[in-house]
Chain A
Amino acid sequence: MSRKQIMQVYGAKLVNELQVYLRALHTHQANNDVVKRTRDALHSTLKGYFDREPQGSLQVQLLPEETFLNSTLLPIAMQDFERIKEMTAQLRQMGVGELIFDSAVTTESLSVFAQAVYGCMHGGATIETRAFTGIEALELEYSSSGSSERDAHKVAVWLYAGLLDGLQGLRDLVAEGHTPTMVPFMRHMRLLVDLTAERGMVLRHMCLARPSADTDAEVQQIACRTFLAVQVGHANGLDRSSLMALGLSSILELISRDSAPSEVMTKLAPYTSLSDLAPKVMMILRALELARLGKSADRLGQLLLLLDELVETIHGSEPATLEDVHSQLGWTQGADEEVLEAVLGWLGEHPVGAMATSKRLDKVLLYDHGEDGETLRCREIFDDGLGDVVELHDIDEAQPIIFSGRFDFAYTEESEEGW
């Protein structure tokens, strides 16, 4: 059995015992013998783990239909499923979605925890104490972009933040002499491609915002370029495999950068987890290096080159204007006119995510193109946040459009008019 499978078997046992223990509190007090027996069984199971992993912790996350132990989904058997679901719902009512155990857990601390649960269960309140000896009872936030469009921005943020961590991990691991698998990045690209189709506007805002100056520029640039590549590729009709190959190419450029075109394949040869995408990724990255040298190259390589320039320009030390972007990309050697037009066309004359000047409202954030996809809308920028979403018909064309969006614009609840 793999480590994961062992964890799944153990997790199913642990969650069942937790359920039996908490279920006993329905009819008995925490100090009742029946409850104590179930408590001892749970403690024994916990102890079994911590005897082997004294430094470890067990994080149980309870979602309506899914249960995770240390981020591993547990295969709850059908006969236990309804009971676990009931326990999850009950704990959620108490404001608990996540339980973390460590080796300090004792039968006494389990009893104290049970007492708190008993109080909530029969008093209908939210749990007050969240930390017990060796036990933490925490809230759990979860989001599913498929179920709620408005939550998609959270998924987008986590995806972007995850990619930053992933890129950092990739860079460090390669420096340590490892050959990381590309499979997690493939899953990441799948989510990104789907999210691009559903909430491309959020991704666009995220990509065109300026990261902080003292952050890891290399990783930020690659993450942003990857997100942009998938969006521009999607807008130009690339299929899923091509989008994934393009995204993976952008990520793997971290490894192949500064290589001569002829060295790219050698550098990527060990990455066998690229599977059937290997030829495409290798050829795109080779084309990128050719394009960087101003030589004739495949257009997907040219696209990455232009997006690299775009990110570098808008992430520069000073906020760039749309004119700067046009000028910088226009001067880029090695890219065909058609590819340049595709990138500039995607940005548009009034790029959503950038800032413009309204004759009436002054500085505004170009927000979206409305329900009809044609009416430019904006939000006024205040010191303490953004104004309501309004249609924008009076752009002051004399003033530059500037790429100076931020991740952390203060959130202000919009008035009904905005919706």
Chain B
Amino acid sequence: MTSPTPGNAQLLDKLISSMDKAFRSYRLYEARGAQYEAHVREMASQAALATEQGAAVLTITPHGIQTHTAHGDDSAELNRTWFDLFEQGARQLIFLPGVDRTQIREMLQIMGGDQSIGGEDILTVLWRREMKHIQVVVARTLVRGTGANMSTEDTLEAQYGHWRNILAPEASTSDKKMQLSPDDLRVLAVEGEPLLWCESCVEPPTVESETDLFETDAGDISAFLDLLAGDEVSREECDQILGHLIGSYARLGLTEKINEVMALAEQHPALGAWSLERMLTAVGGIDALVPLIESSPNAFRDTLTAMASTDSALMEELLEKIEAEAVRGEIETLVITQDSAPLAFHSGRVQNASIDEQLESVKFLFDLGTEEAIYLAIEGCASFHDEVRAYTLTRMTAVYEDPMRTSMLRLFRDTKEEIRVQVYRFVKKSGDRHFLREILAVAKDSYFSRRSDEEQWEVIQALSTHGRLPVINLFFCGVASSGSVWANEHLRKIQHEAIQVLTRFPTVDGQHVLKKLSRRLVGAKDLREAAQRALAQLEAQTDKSSAGGGES
């Protein structure tokens, strides 16, 4: 190992500093929240920077961690974690190129977590994890005094006593007399140096073995749960084993394992009593799970899905505790499936997914037919895709109610003419007063003339159908009388329609306009004649009704 250059040493110092911050943050914020996230990111960045040119080697001392060139600050309070690691034999922490945020989180979880509950030392946990880009170098220093004044028996008893003490500290000390054969390895080890003759044997070159001979189901959680659920263990033992197992997974940050065991136990018919809530208690409560979920929501897909389908209140509680908006969104997407929560699933797709998925979801929700589903479906009115808005409108018009007005209004003002036209036709058909007023406003707007002839005609048609309404009738009075000699064919068509309206829905004002129009000397002749025909028709109708009235 070569000594780092001053530049590298600076990078290592920055890495140590960021690691220190991340550890403090882990404990202070219980591994969650924006500040913790920021520190994790910073550490990951510093690790990437320090490993850009090769491995970053940090030396572990009883006083903390140090670079090759400089000792860390001598703080009054010893860094307990580093001391523990040193005590357990760790001497170097090595970051290799490729280290990422996930591994940083894993490391923090192992080293920052409360291992005292589980008992297994940090070093063994780190060692077992076999992290690809974070390694710990261990110096296995074994110490043995010569024990000049101790007999072999005393030494053997002391060694046995030491083991008893570490295996069961609560047990009373033993006064067991060790009577071992003179050629027992323990006796030989105390009295001399057995196996010294084989110290020079040569190790064969290392050959990576790639056999799947022992890739068996001994580690298969599903098979294990089957055994637990069977009649080999009592209910209490099952509870104890499962509780401790989930708890240890949580302590070690084995998110995928937690997910696997929780999801499988929840679904297991014979483990039905193991509700998610109970498993969460075993983990240490929902609060203990939140940091793990926040760090890796994907790893909890199955658990969260099960949670969403079986205990929505619990799910809501969990979501409330998730602080990061992005993570919350991710979880919502993860847990909501068509089977577990169809409304949420399709509602989410209406706003986020591709055109086909949106169309499928809008259709699904309308087809469900429930009030809730329909109101979720009309969110399609806000879709980015024209086709989805058009389809939503088609389905909405069939079930239109006043509370849908806002969505309809959005389409009424849609950027696409085709969609606006569809709304006009709906209004024409339904006679919705609110939208008639809106359409009337459109028709009166100075920009109306800029709309296409087709759209203008649809607007006029919608209004003319309901020309009996006084304001609309009055509007057509204006239209009919507004003609000029320069009016084009389209405008004349509209004026003809206005004359028709005034004929179909006669009013005093209307008749006055028709008379005026029939006598007009300038303007289109066909309009004058149409007005004259309309008046004649109205007079005939009046006579007929007068005669009918006389008879009656």
Contact = CB atoms under 8 A, between A and B. Distances in A.
Contacts of A197: 206
B214 A276 contact: no
A410 interface: yes
A71 interface: yes
Contacts of A73: 62, 86-87
Nearest to A72: B87
Interface stretch (A45-53, A115-123, A205-213, A327-335): A205-213
B320 to A, nearest CB: 29
Nearest to B243: A272
B217 A78 contact: no
Given A136-B148, A236-B213, A153 B195 contact: yes
B240 A212 contact: no
Given A81-B63, A272-B244, A266 B140 contact: no
21 contacts: A61-B143, A68-B143, A136-B148, A140-B144, A142-B141, A146-B91, A157-B185, A162-B159, A166-B167, A181-B119, A181-B167, A183-B120, A202-B199, A211-B183, A262-B231, A278-B241, A282-B224, A342-B211, A377-B202, A411-B196, A414-B200
A211 B147 CA distance: 25
Interface in B283-313: none
Interface stretch (B35-43, B122-130, B266-274, B415-423): B122-130
Q: Which 4 A-B pairs have the closest CB atoms?
A: A373-B204, A237-B209, A180-B167, A78-B74
Interface in A243-297: 244-245, 262-266, 269-270, 272-273, 275-276, 278-280, 282-284, 286-287
Given A263-B232, A342-B211, 14 more contacts: A73-B62, A78-B71, A78-B74, A79-B74, A141-B146, A157-B194, A161-B186, A241-B128, A242-B219, A265-B241, A283-B223, A352-B201, A377-B202, A407-B185
A242 B184 CA distance: 30
B119 A162 contact: no
Interface stretch (B169-177, B341-349, B497-505): B169-177
A299 B219 CA distance: 12
Give the interface centre of B123, B147, B252 by most chain A CB atoms within 10 Å. B147
Interface of B: 61-63, 71, 74, 78, 83, 86-88, 91, 118-121, 123-124, 127-128, 130, 137-149, 156, 159-160, 162-164, 166-168, 170-171, 174, 176, 180-186, 188-189, 192-206, 208-211, 213-214, 216-221, 223-224, 227-228, 231-234, 237, 240-241, 244-245, 248-249, 251-252, 254, 257
Interface stretch (A34-42, A169-177, A317-325): A169-177
Contact of A184 (B142, B167, B200): B167
A201 B174 CA distance: 36
A62 B322 CA distance: 50
A201 B224 CA distance: 36
Given A158-B142, A181-B168, A282-B224, A205 B201 contact: yes
A407 B232 CA distance: 43
Given A59-B145, A61-B145, A170 B167 contact: yes
A335 to B, nearest CB: 12
A391 to B, nearest CB: 12
A386 B221 CA distance: 51
Contacts of A300: 214, 216, 218
A238 interface: yes
Contacts of B219: 242, 245, 279-280, 283
A276 B257 contact: yes
A349 interface: no
Given A61-B143, A190-B127, A200-B203, A160 B62 contact: no
A212 B221 contact: no
A306 interface: no
Contact of B202 (A156, A369, A412): A369
A300 to B, nearest CB: 5
Contact of B254 (A165, A276, A412): A276
A389 B124 contact: no
B224 A202 contact: no
A69 interface: no
Nearest to A97: B145
A139 B147 CA distance: 8
Contacts of B88: 187
B127 A409 contact: no
Nearest to A73: B87
